[in-house]
Chain A
Amino acid sequence: MTETEIVTSLCPMYGSRFGYALSNGTVGVYDKTSRYWRIKSKNHAMSIHAFDLNSDGVNELITGWSNGKVDARSDRTGEVIFKDNFSSAIAGVVEGDYRMDGHIQLICCSVDGEIRGYLPGTAEMRGNLMDTSAEQDLIRELSQKKQNLLLELRNYEENAKAELASPLNEADGHRGIIPANTRLHTTLSVSLGNETQTAHTELRISTSNDTIIRAVLIFAEGIFTGESHVVHPSIHNLSSSICIPIVPPKDVPVDLHLKAFVGYRSSTQFHVFESTRQLPRFSMYALTSLDPASEPISYVNFTIAERAQRVVVWLGQNFLLPEDTHIQNAPFQVCFTSLRNGGHLHIKIKLSGEITINTDDIDLAGDIIQSMASFFAIEDLQVEADFPVYFEELRKVLVKVDEYHSVHQKLSADMADHSNLIRSLLVGAEDARLMRDMKTMKSRYMELYDLNRDLLNGYKIRCNNHTELLGNLKAVNQAIQRAGRLRVGKPKNQVITACRDAIRSNNINTLFKIMRVGTASS
């Protein structure tokens, strides 16, 4: 599962549940792979901790915030059951028997050094740690609801009144009265770009009559710098349609929550049209005409027991195809171009249900296979794959890993030598000192100093070597993951285990074979 921002901390909660915090101020709880709840604050969660504050036998998620707030939230609903305030940011939240009286406390510490301990609530409080005026709050909440409903009712009444009045005129526009049958159309398409704009996915929003769109707010996760994107045309360029370029950085399906402010040019009040559009997973790929020359040499090949029509449906759902696209029955072939780097993607389907996907991007191939697998509910899928360019790179990486390993060993040996030398030098210097041979002592210490410097340099080299090694090992690991993602179900696990074994036995050729055909044995 992927989150929208950098995960800053995790903590186990209860059973299979765990809490998490993101760098953008989100905290929440997952149960296995599904999210129970999350909340987002403008402050940052500095520390999260699981603690049973209300003594109900289930841990709550305790969060210490950057503005000095501490809150305890129910693991199931995210409802705040307790809160407190510090005068400065929270540094950490822990638990322990701080006063040595046998009671485990929740302990919060602020960056200013203020520490507060909280004992769990007693059973008599029945989990009610907040103010005793819970009933008052409930009444307030219900009254507010009532007021909102009354307001809504009145809105409809006023609307009915407005309808009875004269036909639409200029003044109405000012007050924000628009024809009731105004509709908002949204279309997503692929734009290949021009000199001024790079290629992008285009969202086009238009109204069904002469009303104008004053502004559009798009709330979506992970595709804009913040959580929202605003389009606010200048007063001279207002029209009934707006085109918004969108460039999703990753191939993931994104829900776009749109809010369009619709009215007239002089309006001070606008109707808010809300709608949600899903941006398909592979929206950054444009359908292009067949060109056998552009076919990438890398491919994956597999067979599925589905009719070609179903594959066409899958294509329609996951790619932005032009409206007039008509795909004939199997066998057929479609070509796409990536809007990000211009790479090509060919998908071929034979009558037998054999599918070949040509792309140089191994991640893309993996994404397509995973997407198909979930769409067709395929449990196990064995795939034949070949990515010569990528494999060549991987081979180089593996060679490098070997090199770094040997360098590492050599450096370690050097260090051992040096430390022996140090010992003898030190003994020599001390002897010289005891014998009051200051000259020898000085020269011994000078040597020692030089040796120390060498050691330091050696350490630096070792450090760099180590980071490089780690980086390369990460790349190898990623390669195994990628090879796994090309398969589904049992074959996927087999590939990953077999690859690990191959690495362990340092059998590079077997590794590539596994990646290609999925098993070690032929």
Chain B
Amino acid sequence: MDLILNRMDYLQVGVTSQKTMKLIPASRHRATQKVVIGDHDGVVMCFGMKKGEAAAVFKTLPGPKIARLELGGVINTPQEKIFIAAASEIRGFTKRGKQFLSFETNLTESIKAMHISGSDLFLSASYIYNHYCDCKDQHYYLSGDKINDVICLPVERLSRITPVLACQDRVLRVLQGSDVMYAVEVPGPPTVLALHNGNGGDSGEDLLFGTSDGKLALIQITTSKPVRKWEIQNEKKRGGILCIDSFDIVGDGVKDLLVGRDDGMVEVYSFDNANEPVLRFDQMLSESVTSIQGGCVGKDSYDEIVVSTYSGWVTGLTTEPIHKESGPGEELKINQEMQNKISSLRNELEHLQYKVLQERENYQQSSQSSKAKSAVPSFGINDKFTLNKDDASYSLILEVQTAIDNVLIQSDVPIDLLDVDKNSAVVSFSSCDSESNDNFLLATYRCQADTTRLELKIRSIEGQYGTLQAYVTPRIQPKTCQVRQYHIKPLSLHQRTHFIDHDRKGEGVFKSDNISTISILKDVLSKEATKRKINLNISYEINEVSVKHTLKLIHPKLEYQLLLAKKVQLIDALKELQIHEGNTNFLIPEYHCILEEADHLQEEYKKQPAHLERLYGMITDLFIDKFKFKGTNVKTKVPLLLEILDSYDQNALISFFDAA
């Protein structure tokens, strides 16, 4: 059965953060639920849908930006109390909008993540985690890297308190009191945690998490060790995961997995007989999906997925069909509803336009006076700068609440801007003036109308480091632009793994299998030291075996790429044979295989066109760097090396490295 969901936009509030929208439980099954959402203006809004119109239940006054919104209540009763985290304060509201709690925490940073369970409150700021019980401080932990999310395994089922922190350094930290019980290394920086099935699954210990590079996994957190259940790779290169919910939208009695990503993708996974997730539905919205929950909002007895987006849209993907099979009169009514909505919006717009015109005039007038000041309107930019492991490039994602007019990209190191399919902006490269060496790249992206999200792909050169700046100008009056800086690091194409150098006082030891890495590190350290006039002694030990080891590490990749290239070359010829001969029985099995996998192979080859060149580049660098440490320049021998690479044989290569 295909899952067909229709999009219904309900309402727009201000810009929202991750996990700031919830549905308040209804009194009975499949009755319409109220939506509660908090935005960056600090407004908490609770509304329900009545005849296609959003009717507010309550709305609070503006305040500090709301970072999280959760529901809570006494355990084993409906969780319908609303808690918000704004700056360093936690506030609680009843479902009618009456404030019953205002708790000023002692955290110095503003709260980033929150989890609530009965009277237990788990909070985390950027690096600090705190556990409160009845607003009394219980436990505390300082994390080594940024905390993205916090959750606690269900207390009512496990009768122990096991908080889990999702940290940017690709680790889930499982706590007990104020100490780390154990740390779990995960495949990408985790951005969101959720209990499996909403209650921790069969064991009550099952935890779902999503990563900023788009991976999704289930893990069981037992008291002694983690048990990995399944993991979904991000093969389609979709965005990072921002929110997860469990809800039976398919209607087969098993809760499905609802996932929202930062590229606007909404996905539904259902579970097969082996309890493995299978993608059942996906739909693209145009901006980051910040919260997701299954429930019933638009019309009773029709299940739907409710999502909120970065710019504050609350949208339902409903099972309610758009075209209703009904009497002739009723269709008219639906149309009428729409028309009413449109005309009321039009009226509102007219009124606003008039007001804006007046204000514009005032603004113009104020610019005549010499004392007046003119402030730029601030706007939020939701940005993400991440390394893609697969194609060794960086992606820069910029998202603004209103349409972007243009983006200026400036870099003081040589980088390449790669083409991104999703990006429809017209790019134009400007010549860089010769007088200053600060500009290696100047490019403008002129966006098409209604672009609120822009994705760029950047390829840097390992060892060349500097700053990339993005000047973002949205289409709002008065026109302003904001600059964002991103650092391109010397070892820009290294992903963090979990053995790192150990620092002693005034001394650092770096170890790497790849001599090129060490060479870059050495260059960078001495450059920085000279800049700060620090006396630095660098000594290094080169293990000859390490070169061989690195070559061996590269070997399988290189061999695979070469084989792939060879196979792809053969495809056309084989296809022609197939057509001419009518059958392919005379071909050896290997060629049969190629023919069968032709489409797949071609696709794979198309996806990574420059991969082989990059591997060649790596080997060449390694070759040069190896001899740089010995003090000899071998650049003249590079053509010879390339020749050997062209007719690749591992042993020949190694002996060339040894011999030279």
Which B376-429 residues have C-beta < 8 A from chain A? 376-379, 401-403, 406, 408, 410, 419, 421, 423-429
B374 touches A225 (CB 8 A): no
Which of chain B's residues have a CB closer than 8 A to the CB of A7?
none
Closest residue of chain A to B344 (Cβ to Cβ) is A142
B353 within 8 Å of A (CB atoms): yes
Which of chain A's residues have a CB closer than 8 A to the CB of B477?
152, 155
A40 to B352, CA, bound (A): 32
Interface string of A272-293 (1 = CB under 8 A from B): 1110000000000000000000
A226 to B377, CA, bound (A): 31
With an 8 Å Cβ cutoff, the count of chain A residues facing the other chain is 68
Which of chain A's residues have a CB closer than 8 A to the CB of B79?
none
Which of chain B's residues have a CB closer than 8 A to the CB of A147?
12, 311-312, 401-402
A431 within 8 Å of B (CB atoms): no
B446 within 8 Å of A (CB atoms): yes
A155 to B374, CA, bound (A): 10
A153 to B357, CA, bound (A): 9
Which of chain A's residues have a CB closer than 8 A to the CB of B370?
179, 181
Which of chain B's residues have a CB closer than 8 A to the CB of A12?
none
B481 touches A261 (CB 8 A): yes
B7 touches A163 (CB 8 A): no
Closest residue of chain A to B482 (Cβ to Cβ) is A269
A179 to B376, CA, bound (A): 11
A149 touches B427 (CB 8 A): no
Interface size class of B (residues with CB under 8 A): 35 or more
Interface string of A7-44 (1 = CB under 8 A from B): 00000000000000000010000000000000011100
Which of chain A's residues have a CB closer than 8 A to the CB of B9?
136, 139-140, 143
Closest approach, in angstroms, between the C-beta of A284 and any C-beta of chain B? Answer: 19
Interface string of A55-84 (1 = CB under 8 A from B): 000000000000100000000000000000
Which of chain B's residues have a CB closer than 8 A to the CB of A232?
408, 410, 438-439, 442
A228 within 8 Å of B (CB atoms): yes
Interface string of B456-496 (1 = CB under 8 A from A): 00000000000000010101111111110000000000000
Please pick, from A25, A225, A272, the residue contacting B429 in the complex, using a CB distance under 8 A. A225
B7 touches A133 (CB 8 A): yes
Which B425-453 residues have C-beta < 8 A from chain A? 425-431, 433, 436-439, 442-444, 446, 450
A333 to B442, CA, bound (A): 44
Closest approach, in angstroms, between the C-beta of A50 and any C-beta of chain B? Answer: 24
A224 to B433, CA, bound (A): 13
A159 touches B363 (CB 8 A): yes
Number of A-B contacts (CB under 8 A): 208
B236 within 8 Å of A (CB atoms): no
Please pick, from A41, A146, A226, the residue contacting B349 in the complex, using a CB distance under 8 A. A146
Which A105-150 residues have C-beta < 8 A from chain B? 132-133, 135-136, 138-140, 142-150
Contact A158 to B377, CB < 8 A, known contacts A42-B427, A152-B477? yes
A148 to B477, CA, bound (A): 9
A270 within 8 Å of B (CB atoms): yes
A113 to B362, CA, bound (A): 61
A25 touches B473 (CB 8 A): no
Interface string of B292-315 (1 = CB under 8 A from A): 000000000000000000011000
Can you list 28 contacts pairing A with B, beta carbon distance less than 8 Å?
A: A41-B426, A133-B6, A138-B342, A139-B338, A140-B9, A142-B349, A144-B450, A149-B353, A153-B352, A156-B363, A158-B378, A159-B375, A163-B372, A168-B373, A172-B373, A176-B480, A180-B373, A180-B374, A182-B367, A226-B427, A228-B444, A234-B436, A234-B437, A234-B438, A234-B439, A235-B438, A263-B376, A269-B482
Given contacts A232-B439, A273-B479, 8 further A-B contacts (CB under 8 A): A139-B338, A142-B342, A180-B366, A180-B373, A214-B483, A215-B410, A270-B376, A270-B483
A-contacting residues of B (Cβ < 8 Å)?
Answer: 6-9, 12, 311-312, 322-323, 338, 341-342, 345-346, 348-349, 352-353, 355-356, 359-360, 362-363, 366-370, 372-379, 401-403, 406, 408, 410, 419, 421, 423-431, 433, 436-439, 442-444, 446, 450, 471, 473, 475-483
